[in-house]
Copies of this chain bind each other. A is one copy, B any other.
Amino acid sequence: MKEAVVIRDVSLRDGLQLVQTRVPTATKIEWLNGLMAAGLPKVEVTSFVPSSVIPQFSDAEQVASHALNVGGTSVSALVVNLKGARRAFDAGFRNVSYVVSASQAHSAANARRTTDEALNEFRLIVSERNARVDGWAIALECGIATSFGCSIQGGVDPARVLDIAEHLVAGGADSLLIADTVGYANPASVRRLFRGLFTIVGSIQVSAHFHNTRGLGLANVVAALDVGVRHFDASTAGLGGCPFAPGATGNINSEDCAFMLDAMGFDTGINMDMLLALRRKIELWLPDEKFHGALACAGLPKI
């Protein structure tokens, strides 16, 4: 009996965030169907962010109405503020994610607010969730961006991340997501931070969101696995990134990550051939993008 490790594919959200090509809703739905068919257990399907900020996600409700009516895969949406949370709840999402930045400088540049203001906004979102008739059914995840460092301010104190995590759990977060937004984590700091987190957050789920900015993405996955992390974000074709790390590779690659986990003897539920076939479609849909990932280039090994 293999142990399960869950990959949440974020290509439709984190991946499309920086893509200049506007992807038609129908294509996003084909993309989502491809992820579901390939067996991805979780997919982050869109972001409830003002269209003026990221026009790519102006079809969030349309994507939602498809995503929430097909079974098998757990779908979630990102929200950036209370207004977005209301939209996500109204659309019917039962898994909603929100993010605060551990780095003050990143918080100011990325979300134009302090970390404390972002934490306050989370409290409002929790209240809104709790006030809804079906609020009990909505799980709120809160991410902590730049948990290992930030390209604007440099280092981030792990104690600050633990402090934020404690606040979030006390404040109503159902799960946490620790994000290395711009590639500052390394296997040693990953082990230290997650060990520290597990001692303070109790039994709630803590997921990892790694970027491959400096090539350490999968090495960090191995380190996180070692200390008990079993939920990872990854992006098909390695799409994604951060506007504050231009030119760099972005999110860890779903194909490479799933391949590694499978090779290590974990059960991801993912059909590699189907995921690689979807990637080839995405390459056709986004001819101007730079794609990442070694498996798509080398192919699966001969067994």
Residues on A close to B: CB < 8 A? 149-155, 182-184, 186-189, 212-216, 218-219, 221-223, 226, 245, 247-249, 253, 256, 259-260, 263-265, 293-295, 297-298, 301-303
Contacts and interface: CB of A to CB of B under 8 A. Distances in A.
A183 B298 contact: yes
B187 A264 contact: yes
* Copies of this chain: 2
B264 A188 contact: yes
A265 B189 CA distance: 10
A28 to B, nearest CB: 26
Contacts of A222: 187, 219, 222-223
Contacts of A256: 214-216
A135 to B, nearest CB: 40
A215 B260 contact: yes
Contacts of A187: 222, 260, 264
Nearest to A213: B298
Given A186-B264, A264-B187, A249 B298 contact: yes
A302 B214 contact: no
11 contacts: A151-B302, A154-B303, A183-B301, A187-B222, A214-B260, A215-B259, A215-B293, A216-B263, A219-B219, A226-B226, A247-B298
